[in-house]
Amino acid sequence: MKTKILVLLSACFFTIGAGATERFISTTGTVRVELPADKVKVSASIYVVDPTLDDSNARLDALVDEFLGKAKSLGISGRDVVLNNRTSAKEWEWRNSLRLDKGFKSTIYLTLTLNDVRKFPELATWMGIREGFALRGTNYTSSKEGEERKKAITNALKAAREKAELLAKAGNATLGQLISATETNLEVESYLRNMGGNLALNSAVSDNSSGGIQSVEFSVRVTASFELK
């Protein structure tokens, strides 16, 4: 796990009422945390093209059963596989400016949750070498995110106070008690770190089974105001 602390600074003095002056300083601390992913939610589709609608649907049912069997062999519970929309439509092919009737295309969209991210490459390879299976997207997460987010909030406030103390000292003042603090959650992003150490936003399905190290990165920002004496 990597934690990076970025501190953004601002200082201000505010006048309250006539002749009454309250001096304070505001600083902003940002903590960025990178965690290894241990779960992945996969979006996929299964499809079949057949000359008749009945055969198209029957073959699709067979592929769905085959997929569920593979998922079970990987220890994926049935409750972690959700079958979503199912559609059937005419399928056409353009050839030499002519539209050719290919029959009927039946498709089902599904999502599944892998609680052991290490099993995903095998699943992705299994789907990739079979006709009728397509990966559509992934979302990597970490079961430790909640715990690490709490630590990040504390560290962000600590970083903001340390910088405020430096600024107060530079201005021949003494830092007093905390007046207010506001925490902002920044967007969580899922990354695939390739073997060369480069990071890429994990949206390209073609990269998901490359054997890279998946990670989840999030940032927490705390803006705090402290009394100046």
Query: Residue 22: what pLDDT?
Result: 79
For all residues of the chain together, what is the average pLDDT? 83
Selected residue with higher pLDDT from 65 and 15: 65
- Predicted confidence at residue 20, as pLDDT, reads 46
pLDDT (0 to 100) of residue 188: 55
* pLDDT of 15 strictly over 80: no
* pLDDT higher than threshold 60 for residue 190: no
Per residue in 72-101, pLDDT (tens digit) is: 999 998 899 999 999 999 999 988 888 899
The phi, psi pair for 203, rounded to 5°, reads: -120, -15
Residue with the bigger pLDDT between 219 and 7: it is 219
Domain regions of the chain by residue span: 2-35+143-228, 39-141
At position 158, the amino acid (one-letter code) is: K
Is the pLDDT reported for residue 165 higher than 90? yes
pLDDT for 38 equals: 92
Q: What is the pLDDT of residue 5?
A: 46
Q: Measuring CA to CA, which residue among 215, 210, 213 is closest to residue 128?
A: 210
So what's the architecture of 39-141 in CATH?
Answer: 2-Layer Sandwich (3.30)
Neighbours of 18 (CB within 10 A): 5
**How is the chain split among helix, strand and coil, in percent rounded to 5?**
30, 50, 20
Decide whether 2-35+143-228 matches 39-141 in CATH topology: no
**pLDDT of amino acid 150:** 93
pLDDT for 212 equals 61
List the Cα angle 205/75/207 in 5-degree steps. Answer: 15
pLDDT tens figures, 95-123:
888 889 999 999 999 999 999 999 999 99
**C-alpha–C-alpha distance, residues 104 and 89, integer Å:** 6
SS3 assignment, position 74: coil
Average pLDDT over residues 33-39: 91
For 155, half-sphere exposure in the C-beta direction (CA atoms, 13 angstrom radius) is 16
Q: Supply the pTM of this predicted model.
A: 0.69
Q: How far is CA 125 from the centre of its chain?
A: 22
pLDDT at site 216: 87
154 confidence band (pLDDT: 50, 70, 90): very high
Q: Is 22 helix (H, G, I), strand (E, B) or coil?
A: strand
Domain 2-35+143-228 annotated CATH 3.30.110.170: yes
Helix (H, G, I), strand (E, B) or coil at 213: strand
- The secondary structure element, H or E, covering residue 48 is strand 39-50
Query: Higher confidence at residue 143 or residue 203?
Result: 143
- Residues with Cβ within 8 Å of 221's Cβ and at least 6 positions away in sequence, in order, are 28, 29, 30, 31, 156, 183, 184, 186
Q: Is 97 left (phi over 0), alpha (psi -120 to 50) or beta?
A: left
